[in-house]
Amino acid sequence: MTQDLDVAKKRLAVAHRVTVLTGAGVSAESGVPTFRGAEGLWRNFRPEELATPQAFANDPKLVWDWYDWRRGLIAPLNPNPGHVAIAKMEGQFPEFLLVTQNVDGLHRLAGNKKIAELHGNIWFTRCTDEGTIAENRQVPMPEIPPRCRCGALLRPHIVWFGESLDYDVFQSVLSACRACDVLVVAGTSSVVHPAASLAGMAKDSGAFVIEVNPEETPITDFVDVHLRGKSGEMLPLLI
């Protein structure tokens, strides 16, 4: 492990362009349940059953009950040392982008500004009729499902399964992954696409890829260094 860590630190020390890709594992040490871990269940539903346009069309109240529960869970939580390390990284490299699959907002709270939120943000709603996006931090939601002033249902401003990612956001993420000298992939099971394909794209474009995860994932075989451990412990050692 120490050899791997030294190799990873040496590559970062000479890097100019660094991209970091994070998943639910980075928020785990703050107390946010991961998606595919044992605690990912809610009333025996799997996230894939609720985080879809169909589930919302069928039962907007049920889907909003789930998000309201998650918002209530996340609201008092703080960034952990892994988030803080990534926030410090932003100021260390001439070119930096944080790409996160997480919707909890903890990276912003930790101080990152150059962020691409691939799957949206749980603290924002979107009108299903007008498309207007608004920040809403009410916990609990006073009315479920919430409605826009225009009368239409509000939905979480989140990318659900079967929905396309924001085109412009994803294009900027693609160019960052193709141009970076080092890609750090932390806390993701690398099963959800298209985020899961970013490490391979970066690698094919010549990036040095560092994975931080206590477990192996589908990308572990091809990354340059796999730091097997928790992001809250490994990331501070990296910077």
| Residues with active-site annotation | 119
Q: Does 64 bind ligand BV8 (CB under 6 A)?
A: no
Q: Given candidates 11, 119, 157, 226, which one binds ligand BV8 under the rule CB under 6 A? A: 119
Q: Does 35 bind ligand BV8 (CB under 6 A)?
A: yes
Q: Given candidates 38, 76, 193, 221, which one binds ligand BV8 under the rule CB under 6 A? A: 193
Q: Does 112 bind ligand BV8 (CB under 6 A)?
A: no
Number of residues that bind ligand BV8 (CB under 6 A): 38
Q: Given candidates 30, 184, 187, 210, which one binds ligand BV8 under the rule CB under 6 A? A: 187
User: Within 13 Å, how many C-alpha atoms sit on residue 66's CB side?
Assistant: 22
The residue among 163 and 206 lying less far from ligand BV8, judged by its C-beta, is: 163
Site for ligand BV8, residues 131 to 160, rule: CB under 6 A: 158-160
CB 197 within 8 A of CB 218: no
When CB distances to ligand BV8 are compared, the closest residue is 25
Q: Which of 147, 122, 150 is nearest to 136 (CA)?
A: 122
Q: Does 51 bind ligand BV8 (CB under 6 A)?
A: yes
Binding part of the chain for ligand BV8, among 29-37, 55-63, 87-95, 174-182 by CB under 6 A, reads 29-37
| Residue ranges binding ligand BV8 (CB under 6 A) | 23-25, 28-29, 34-37, 48, 51, 101-103, 119, 158-164, 186-189, 191-194, 212-215, 217, 230-232
